[in-house]
Chains A and B, each alone.
Chain A
Amino acid sequence: MSEQSGAQAMQFGIMSVSDITRDPTTGVTPSEQERIKATLAIATHAEEVGLDVFAIGEHHNPPFWSSSPTTFLAALAAQTERLIVSTSTTLITTNDPVRIAEEYAMLQHVSDGRMDLMLGRGNTGPVYPWFGQDIRQGLPLAIENYALLHKLWREDVVDWEGKFRTPLQGFTSTPRPLDGIAPFVWHGSIRTPEIAEQAAYYGDGFFANNIFWPKEHYQRLIELYRQRFEHYGHGTREQAIVGLGGQVFMAAKSQDAVNQFRPYFDNAPVYGHGPSMEDFTEMTPLTVGSPQQVIDRYAAMREHYGDYQRQLFLIDHAGLPLKTVLEQLDILGSEVVPVLRKELAKDRPAGVPDAPTHAARVKATYGDGPTRQARPGANRGDNLTADSPYEDTPAPAGAAFGLGRKGA
């Protein structure tokens, strides 16, 4: 396996929302093909400069291009060796949880476990009816759909009846997760305490958007998640798995960064024509300046949120051209992330877990023993009466997943 070892305290990476935005300095809007290829170039360069993660958002409307994250991430995994491919976010409300279970398990196999995913509800109202859902049911959909997804990855044969989806009788989601280990899930949130609660309930990761709003909002969410993680018995609050977003724009001289980024900031759909860039950078984690300013700002995140496991930066939006984004990656990889790795590792308490990887999770489940290799049995097509559609040995000690009804 090309998977890196499990011992990685912090993961650094970038996340893209897949917007196709006019470059305000040139008036040029890239085509979908140009932007998709540019994002592949950005993501592969992220690995080249030593980053660990690339995450892509999911949207189903212009000006965004990423409607099919797993297709894109599979191509990216094929072009990289070490990078973890992920999402920011996968829509748990409007996607059928069965399709999520299948597509991401497939991605897990083709990437040799170099993947995870982040779930979110999505904030584009019109998307819901396109997929036959109602935005007023956003939270119940997130809760019920994830309950099913969680089960589909852990039990070979699933009976299911919920409010939102056609019932399942003796259903097997294929392929089964790689090595019998479900993909790691982060629950992403901008404001909703119920999502922090959900992440805590399952002992999954919690990712705070940490982009658009003041840190105080995210502090409350993360504190709640840590407290509830402990409440549900997954470990101490320090052992909860926290990820953070962030956004930066850098140049060697601080003033150059400010001048270069301002037209993009002023015209960006998400915050353009609102607060000044100066006000916005003061109120939110957006940092526009020298690499040292970025280091200072992000090294302080652990003081706001506690020791955490993953830091993702948004750097490729608002019409910034490919060349500029690649330069930003060079600065991140050479000047910023190496220093942040050291800073955030300094005095990191022993009990704080490393960032989750497939290899580490395999090891935690099986030790050095053989992993589960699911092989369809002769009874396929007969899930309703047979014990399991798979013949697989060995079953791990204290299996974390059910092996059909016999084990359930």
Chain B
Amino acid sequence: MTTRRIAVVSAGLSNPSSTRMLADRLAAETVKALAERDIDATVDVIELRDHAHDITNNMLTGFAPPALETAINTVVSADALIAVTPIFSTSYSGLFKSFIDVLDPDALAGKPVLIGANAGTPRHSLAIDYAIRPLFAYLHADAVSTGVFAASSDWGGGGDDVAPLAKRVEKGARELADAVARREAATIADPFDPATYLGEGRSFGHMLGGLAGE
């Protein structure tokens, strides 16, 4: 069995939060789907509420305080990301976007992402596709085609009869597991390795172009 690491980002503000409940279901189902593909997965959950002050501080100072830096490294080095946000005023929450904003813009490129969102009413369900998905498209992340939206009614049991929440969770998780299974384990290029910024086997003379005669 091979091993992969899933990072879960939950932007819910209350505790307990239905955002976190959805995140946990998506994570559990993804682990199960990966197990069926002979992949052992570990899960790291990041509650953005715990980092709210640090995220603001990072914006003001340009560096992440230690706890936030650990969280960021967990996300950018993971094999896949499950990102779940409440819908506020027709879009992702400000805290969720602020976290995305302190990441390196290239950090999520190519990473499989499963998007989840929740709100009080199913009328917000399209926010996943008109607001959240474009954000990940901009970041060149690889968001799977199913996004899982949960309204309050989904938790009450009287939600969608045709495609109940459990089914949608299972579908999204399966797509994410497939995306992870298709890929090699994630490797992070060390920005302080000369091979990363110069290119393998090259020296500074190449950055000088013809100027240094190399």
Closest chain A CB from B56 CB (angstroms): 7
Number of A-B contacts (CB under 8 A): 62
Closest chain A CB from B52 CB (angstroms): 13
Is B156 at the interface (CB under 8 A from chain A)?
no
Residues of A within 8 A of B203 (CB): 201, 232
Chain B minimum-CB-distance residue to A140? B207
Q: Give the dominant DSSP class at B's interface.
A: helix
Q: Give the dominant DSSP class at A's interface.
A: helix
Residues of B within 8 A of A162 (CB): 211
- Measured CA separation A270–B59 after assembly (Å): 11
Query: Which one of B111-119, B167-175, B192-200 is at the A interface?
Result: B192-200
Residues of A within 8 A of B201 (CB): none
Is A217 at the interface (CB under 8 A from chain B)?
yes
Is A171 at the interface (CB under 8 A from chain B)?
no
Report if A275-B197 is in contact (Cβ < 8 Å); known contacts: A143-B207, A162-B211.
no
Residues of A within 8 A of B212 (CB): 147
- Measured CA separation A4–B60 after assembly (Å): 42
Residues of A within 8 A of B205 (CB): 201
- Measured CA separation A271–B65 after assembly (Å): 13
Chain B minimum-CB-distance residue to A194? B197
- Measured CA separation A193–B195 after assembly (Å): 11
Q: Which of A190-224 contact B (CB under 8 A)?
A: 193-194, 197-198, 200-201, 212-214, 217, 220-221, 223-224
> Does the CB pair B60–A273 fall under 8 Å?
yes
- Measured CA separation A200–B62 after assembly (Å): 26
Closest chain B CB from A322 CB (angstroms): 27
Is B208 at the interface (CB under 8 A from chain A)?
yes
Is B2 at the interface (CB under 8 A from chain A)?
no
Report if A279-B65 is in contact (Cβ < 8 Å); known contacts: A193-B191, A193-B192, A224-B192.
yes
Closest chain B CB from A56 CB (angstroms): 22
- Measured CA separation A197–B191 after assembly (Å): 12
Is B204 at the interface (CB under 8 A from chain A)?
yes
Is B66 at the interface (CB under 8 A from chain A)?
yes
**A212 interface neighbour in B63, B66, B196, B211, Cβ under 8 Å:** B63
Residues of B within 8 A of A279 (CB): 57, 65
> Does the CB pair A143–B208 fall under 8 Å?
yes
Is A228 at the interface (CB under 8 A from chain B)?
yes
Report if A147-B63 is in contact (Cβ < 8 Å); known contacts: A228-B194, A274-B57.
no
Is B15 at the interface (CB under 8 A from chain A)?
no
> Does the CB pair A283–B65 fall under 8 Å?
yes
Is B187 at the interface (CB under 8 A from chain A)?
no
> Does the CB pair A275–B61 fall under 8 Å?
yes
User: Taking beta carbons and an 8 Å cutoff, which residues of A are in contact with B?
Assistant: 143-144, 147, 162-163, 193-194, 197-198, 200-201, 212-214, 217, 220-221, 223-224, 228, 232, 270-271, 273-275, 279-280, 283
User: Taking beta carbons and an 8 Å cutoff, which residues of B are in contact with A?
Assistant: 56-57, 60-63, 65-66, 191-192, 194, 196-198, 203-205, 207-209, 211-212
26 A-B pairs with CB atoms under 8 Å apart are A143-B207, A144-B208, A147-B212, A193-B191, A193-B192, A193-B196, A193-B197, A194-B197, A194-B207, A197-B197, A197-B204, A197-B207, A200-B204, A212-B63, A213-B63, A214-B63, A221-B192, A223-B192, A224-B192, A224-B194, A228-B194, A270-B61, A271-B60, A275-B65, A283-B63, A283-B66
